[in-house]
Every structure is written in structure tokens, then in C-alpha cells.
Amino acid sequence: MKNKNIEIYTDGSSLGNPGPGGWGVVIISNEKPNHEFIELGGGEKDTTNNRMELQAVIEAVRYINENCKESIVTINADSAYVLGGVTNWVFGWEKNGWKTSKKEPVLNQDLWKELISLVRNFDGEIIWKKVKGHSGVEYNEKADEIATSYAAKQK
């Protein structure tokens, strides 16, 4: 996908927290006349919902780094945890040696570091948007379906 207008929806799922989990990504190229759709997904046997939410975004950003250089990409996520971390909290965590404001180690630090590295190495622009989960947003629902199906396969 080499274009300037890409929309991505991500979601994570965990059946139990921790428990079997899955992540899902829907990538839409909005260049006319052809719309291209790509679906990505995966899972882990013993994980948490937050880790799967992060993994979905990591895989989305990895994909755009490899296939959509110099594009304008909108990443839609229903996770306040992911969006708050990537757009705000990470700066404080880095400054404080990956400690929270309560001086405790940041959870999921391995995934946060991977995500931030991928984001900083992207040659285009990423716009972060919050979508309401389980509210009928078509591609968010599809990302959830992918994530949930991978979680179920891990049981």
C-alpha cells in the first residue's frame, strides 16, 4: 500500500485477565478508485487485555513502517490505555526511567518500548483517534472479531 491516506483500526482481547488473548488490525487504503483492505491478527496463550491492545498497535505500526512509508495514517483504537500512553504518558515514563508517577515500574514496558521505537521510526504522520468500543463502528467491530477469534484459538 503506497498512498497518503490510510485508516487503521486495532483491538485486543483477553478471555480472562490474564488468560488466552488475541489482537486484531484492519487496514484500509482510502485512495480512490480502489479501496484495499488488509486484516492482521495473532494471539498468545497467557496474556492480558492491555498487552493485546498494545500488540495490535505494534503490529499496525510495524506494517506501515514496512509498507506505507511517508503516508498519513490514522490509527483508531478503543483503548484509552494505549492512546494515553503513546500520546502522553510515555514522555514522563522515559524521563523518570520507566517509572510511573508512583515510582513503580511501568507495566508492559517491553511492548511500550517496542511501540515507541516503531512510531519514532515511521517516516510519515500518525494521527491517533479514540473510538468507542462495541458501539457499531464497522472496522472497530471487525478488529474486535479478529482479536476475539485468535483469543478463542489459544484456549
Residues that are catalytic:
11-12, 53, 78, 134, 144
What is the grid cell recorded at 86? 503513546
Return all residues near 23 (Cβ < 8 A) that are at least 6 apart.
Answer: 10, 11, 12, 13, 41, 42, 43, 52, 53, 55, 56, 59, 146, 147, 150
Question: What CA–CA distance (Å, rounded) separates 133 from 79?
Answer: 8
